[in-house]
Amino acid sequence: MKNLSLLLCSLLFVACSNNTSKLDTIIDNAFRAAEAQSLLMAEKYANQEGRLPRTYENGKDVSSDSRWWCSGFFPGSLWYIYENTGSPAVLQYAKQYTDRVEREKFTTDNHDVGFMLYCSFGNGLRLTGNEQYNEVLLTGAHSLATRYKPSVGLIRSWDHNKENWQYPVIIDNIMNLELLIWAANHFGDSKFLDIVTSHADKTMVHHFRPDNSSYHVVSYDTITGLPHLKQTHQGYSDESSWSRGQAWGLYGYTYLYRELKEERYLEQARNIANYIINHPNMPKDGIPYWDFNTPEIPNTARDASAGALIASALIELSDYVEPQLGKQYLAIAETQIRTLASPEYTAQPGENGCFILKHSTGGYPFNSEVDVPLTYTDYYYLEALTRMKKKLN
């Protein structure tokens, strides 16, 4: 069975390799190849209780339990593959790996509960209507809300490094608000929306520079509620533009506009998009270097995760802007998808630790997860493929 899967994946990989093909053909072949590769991944960890794939580094599998912030992405990837292929085997694994994350609904010491639960249980609920998933998501929303301090007006990101940070908030945190919006919409609790709008508005004021680039970490004074420190953690320098951070911001304000219909969020998303796509250091293939401002460009690592995130966000944002600009966004996203679906970025079948994409960067300054596959890269790539497929149909 495994040899048959490898053979099928090999054939599909060849089919995906022609970057001159029609986009709909590339997307369909990419999903078939992703299904074969992800089934190999699911089989690999099926009997390792509670384990979830994280990366593949130095020739070794790196997994985590549900506590790691990325735990919801592999089950989320399986849900996207199931949505597009209808595979019963993928559905079975999607349920199994989603269940491995359930205990995080009680987590109050981690701001990434939104990533953990909304990518897994949220997609599962959307595709199956499983009522039990409602409880997990609602409980998780209440847990996430405990990290909000009204006097500061933001959800606290991290609890470490207290000698430097009083109340650190990272740009990534904008992504976790979607879980709270879901809870507000489904259960009518206005406190969740109050948290969302406060966090989004204060982030817009204090995280972004005049050129619409974003800091990674802003630490707030717990008494005044104002920033006392603006830094990076994973970027090149405090004043540089860490590429995935820019992508988080673009994606975040795009969905905030979708859900809340506030024009200020649409304007913020447009401004961030303009910064990213017109940056002189953005490669023509649409996949950013790990930081837009590192002096090592072009002799440094790319970050496919940032590319996949930007593509997914631009596809959605294209629906909310004037037609000509929307066409520009879609053209850029198409370039990114074609690049990621090419042999340069899509792994050979059965290799790359059974992850779909290569060439992502986690923490370059720490020499951690540099030029490796990452589970969230695959997730946002599959989401971008799904969104583009719907645009084409």
Which residue numbers are catalytic? 112, 172
Contact 358, 342 (CB under 8 A): no
Pick the closest to residue 137 from 124, 147, 128 (CA basis): 124
* Three-state SS letters, the chain: CHHHHHHHHHHHHHHHCCCCCCHHHHHHHHHHHHHHHHHHHHHHHCCCCCCEEEEEECCEEEEECCCCCCCCHHHHHHHHHHHHHCCHHHHHHHHHHHHCCHHHHHCCCCCCHHHHHHHHHHHHHHHHCCCHHHHHHHHHHHHHHCCEECCCCEECCCCCCCCCCCCEEEHHHHHHHHHHHHHHHHHCCHHHHHHHHHHHHHHHHHCECCCCCECCEEEECCCCCCEEEEECCCCCCCCCCEHHHHHHHHHHHHHHHHHHCCHHHHHHHHHHHHHHHCCCCCCCCCCCECECCCCCCCCCCECHHHHHHHHHHHHHHCCCCCHHHHHHHHHHHHHHHHHHCCCCCECCCCCHHHCCECCEEEEHHHCEEEEECEHHHHHHHHHHHHHHHHHHC
As a whole number of angstroms, the distance between CA 255 and CA 266 comes to 9
Amino acid at position 185, single letter: N
CB within 8 Å of 150: residues ≥ 6 apart: none
As a whole number of angstroms, the distance between CA 20 and CA 177 comes to 38
